[in-house]
Amino acid sequence: MTPIILRAVLLGACATLAVPAALAQCAGVAAGQTEQNAAAELVSLVGRGETRPSGDAAWERAVQAQKLKGGADMRTLALSSAALLLADRTQIRMSANAQLRLCDTQPERSLLELIAGRLWARTKRSPANLQLQTPAALAVVRGTDWDVEVEGSGRTGSKIESGMIAAPPAAISTTIVSPSARITPSSDALKIPGSAEGTTTFRDLFFGEDFGQGIRAGHELKMFIPGGGSAPWFYPEQLDMPLEGKVVGGAGSMLGSGAVVAMDETTDAVAACLRLVRFFARESCGKCTPCREGTTWLERVLRRIIDGYGRPEDLGLLASVGDNISPGPYPNAAWEAEGLEAVPFPPRQTTICPLGPSAVAPITSALRRFRPEFEAYIAAAENNRPRLTVTADPPPADRVDGASAAGGAHV
């Protein structure tokens, strides 16, 4: 069988092509993995599960805390579920009537075969490298949790929380859970499990044929948010950066939720900033003053700038309120043209949780890079502001009383 590749790019993901030799080993114990090494531990078992050391051995009743060796099969029976902890710390949960083969689990990578049923996987290592083969697809996952189900017909179904999948639609049925997740039909996904290893960059993500396929016609990338609304913004200079947490963190942002947002030159940086800050102001639980008051102030000041009532001192006020929530230099990307260096993530905080400092990310990102857009709003407000002219005409003569007149004063 020629396996079809499902290449899943999830939270902070980097795509890696599968190694054919690993697939061939899926029927037995992987090379380099001795019988003595535990490939996985059965950390939880509800109901009844069974294991066997290899595909041709008899099934035996599984017990909790049992160590499973490479090449072993594990299955759950009706109304049962199990959890496995793999050698690379990946957590696998099997629902009822699922059957899984531990083809190869090393500290560096795991190769599994889901023969039937449904499993949910959460990779704990970073970067994780989990390869999952099903009768219809081979998934290469680096990142967050997702679940996969092999249906009765052998067809593979997957539910992804975020990110994207490039796969031929016939190979897999996919449920898109969040707006940031999507599926990209691609014949390229039909490539034989490869012999190459590569790292996905933001440029690949936005412009690659398998992924974003470029900015909409006639427009250019202005800025992008690499990891959700809490992440400081990146700009075209950071396009060639790999989607690797440490690299992105050192460069002044984070991969965070993996919800990457690209904005073209038609995006109003001030309006984008308000949209993000407004979210954090609404989300603030109000427990700490810098967050409760600060996010509200940030939203109100931005609102008034956009509504045409901004004042020149508002820019300093935004920075000052932000500094009360997150003191010191806030993480940001390098800006070579201006001689500015990156400030690595994470930010400092005067608050209990990171929500407060998250509201400062769009403020500092937009103010630093797109300050002229703020100033343009404020200049327009200055020019359009209605002015009240007060004149000091002399008082009428009949309103001058004697005493005052004597003293030279007007009433």
Which residues in this chain contact ligand SF4 in the complex, by CB under 6 A?
Answer: 284-288, 291-292, 351-353, 355-356
**Distance of closest approach, residue 246 Cβ to ligand SF4, in angstroms:** 25
What is the C-alpha to C-alpha distance for residues 234 and 249, in angstroms, rounded to an integer?
11
Q: Which residue is nearest to ligand SF4 (CB)?
A: 291
What is the C-alpha to C-alpha distance for residues 300 and 313, in angstroms, rounded to an integer?
14
**Distance of closest approach, residue 354 Cβ to ligand SF4, in angstroms:** 7
Which residue, 49 or 356, has its beta carbon nearer to ligand SF4?
356
What is the C-alpha to C-alpha distance for residues 75 and 94, in angstroms, rounded to an integer?
8
Which residue, 352 or 405, has its beta carbon nearer to ligand SF4?
352
Q: What are phi and psi of 406, to 5 degrees?
A: -65, -35
Half-sphere CA count of 382, side-chain side, radius 13 A: 10
Which residue, 146 or 280, has its beta carbon nearer to ligand SF4?
280
Rounded to the nearest angstrom, the gap between the alpha carbon of residue 368 and the centroid of all alpha carbons in its chain is 23
3-state SS of 198-266 is: CCCEHHHHHHCCCCCCCCCCCCCEEEEECCCCCCCCECHHHCCCECCHHHHHHCCCCCCCCCCEEEECC
Which residue, 345 or 374, has its beta carbon nearer to ligand SF4?
345
Which residue, 129 or 351, has its beta carbon nearer to ligand SF4?
351
Which residue, 123 or 230, has its beta carbon nearer to ligand SF4?
230
Token pair listed for 325: 């929530």
Name residue 132's beta-bridge partners.
112, 139
Which residue, 76 or 351, has its beta carbon nearer to ligand SF4?
351
Residues 6+ away with beta carbon under 8 Å from 339: none
**Distance of closest approach, residue 306 Cβ to ligand SF4, in angstroms:** 24
**Distance of closest approach, residue 242 Cβ to ligand SF4, in angstroms:** 31
Angle at Cα 289 formed by Cα 287 and Cα 295, nearest 5°?
Answer: 95
Which residue, 158 or 326, has its beta carbon nearer to ligand SF4?
326
Q: CB neighbours (10 Å) of residue 198? A: 12
Q: Which amino acid is residue 346, in one-letter code?
A: P
Contact 176, 42 (CB under 8 A): no
What is the C-alpha to C-alpha distance for residues 323 and 349, in angstroms, rounded to an integer?
9
